[in-house]
Amino acid sequence: MTSILPVVSVKPPSIISFVKDLPNVCSLAGLACTLASIYFSILGVYHAAMIGMIWAVAFDWADGLVARRMKGRTGDDRVFGGQLDLVIDIVSYGVAPAIFVLSFAQFNPIFLLLAFFMLSTAVIRLSYFSTFGLSESSKYTGLALDNNNIVIVFVFLFESVLSPYLFQNILFFLIFMLSVLNVSQIQTPKLSGRVMNVYLLASYTLMITGIYIWKLV
């Protein structure tokens, strides 16, 4: 006689239980910085918005470093963290820069096209990475989205040097080209995967923050 063993259903962990995972705390801190960036972009306080944008990248890189060094993380922790990171990336590298573009363009409806283009390329690139991951050479296909924020906050340092019309055209053309590179077939290294690069970004973030605080004052 064949015995039928009872099927034991494993209850999934509670949603809020994942908040105590330190890498997820870093991810949520980055989301808070992104929210601040969106808030200041709408207000037109762009120097403060730049600070929020670069700190969003810093926390994004930090959560990966922390996750790799932590012991005892379960498979559920890793899967949940990856999904959380992906969703936050859409906001940090898609929604926030798009709102910045619209605000800097004085909400001229013509620039909805550029905002939609950069948001579309961001979600397409993230969907592609979520599906296929890194290439066989352990590189990204297309320019990683975090590079967009790093470049934008650097270029915006020259906002007071050039004429408003010239700077806006340069900035928006640069943003357009970055969006094109995001969905291109170029192979780029995963910069956040090296500890030294994380420390370099931390130094860059502190330097950029200091400069923009000085501009605000």
What is the DSSP code string of 103-164?
HHTTT-GGGHHHHHHHHHHHHHHHHHHHHH-S-TTSEEES--THHHHHHHHHHGGGTTTS-H
pLDDT tens, residue by residue, 16-73: 888 888 889 999 999 999 999 999 999 999 999 999 999 999 999 998 888 877 777 7
> How far, in Å, CA of 146 to CA of 55, rounded?
11
The yes-or-no verdict on residue 136 having pLDDT over 60 is yes
> How far, in Å, CA of 70 to CA of 210, rounded?
31
The answer to whether position 4 is within a domain reads: no
pLDDT band of 3, cuts 50, 70, 90: low
Query: Residue written as tokens 């420390």?
Result: 199
Overall domain count for the chain: 1
For the domain that residue 82 is a member of, what is the CATH number? Answer: 1.20.120.1760
Over pLDDT 90: what percentage of the chain? 70
Torsion angle, alpha carbons of 71, 72, 78, 84, to 10: -80
Q: Which range has the worst mean pLDDT, 104-113, 134-143, 166-175? A: 134-143
Phi-psi region of 194 (alpha: psi -120 to 50; beta: other; left: phi over 0): beta
The answer to whether position 61 is within a domain reads: yes
pLDDT band of 8, cuts 50, 70, 90: low
One-letter identity of residue 209: T
The model carries a pTM of 0.90
- Structural domain span for residue 102: 21-216
The answer to whether position 39 is within a domain reads: yes
Query: Residue written as tokens 């601040």?
Result: 36
> How far, in Å, CA of 203 to CA of 153, rounded?
14
The answer to whether position 14 is within a domain reads: no
Beta bridge partners of 188: 140
- Determine the pLDDT at residue 71: 79
The answer to whether position 1 is within a domain reads: no
